[in-house]
Homo-oligomer: A and B are copies of this chain.
Amino acid sequence: MQIKKQMEDIILSDVQKQLIERLGVASEKEGLPPAPSRILALLMVSPVTELTFDQIREHLNLSKSATSTALNLLLTTNRIDYITQSGDRKRYFKNRIGNWRENIKGSVKKITNSADVLEEILNTRPDNTPEFNKDLKDLISFLRFMNDNLPALYRQWEEQND
């Protein structure tokens, strides 16, 4: 087969490039390294949502190894996914934005978690710091309250969103 598959040349406007940087920086603040952050942002902004290893690599001026490592990190942390097409060895990577509901659940879970740690702390605290203990108690109470009520709030959004 001589017909070389035409690489879809994704061209991004300056605005789109800026959005990649902005979103990339946001991901870095969440603790992701720069390269994975950029990849994730590219897969969010690119008009073509499914990009090959080399498209990503070229667009972000990364080395093969950096691209490989970053993609594998994103894959193992469930932030991206890839599909294949029969008769094409390439993998097409895509942002798993459809997973946002799962991600939100994860964030809520983290709230429970920190409430638990704070509660353990509260249990070790002496009685002679009532103001401090009250603040801590309130915070824990608030976190638990949020935990209990967020699911209902989510369902409420779901309804109005149908």
Which A residues fall within an 8 A CB radius of B? 13, 15-16, 19, 22-23, 26, 29, 31, 44-45, 47, 49, 95, 97-98, 100, 104, 114, 117, 120-121, 124-126, 128-129, 131-132, 135-136, 138-139, 141-142, 145-146, 149, 153-154, 156-157, 160-161
Contact = CB atoms under 8 A, between A and B. Distances in A.
Contacts of A15: 124
Given A23-B117, A31-B29, A126 B157 contact: no
A47 to B, nearest CB: 5
A146 B138 contact: no
A26 B114 contact: yes
Nearest to A127: B47
B117 A19 contact: yes
A31 B126 CA distance: 30
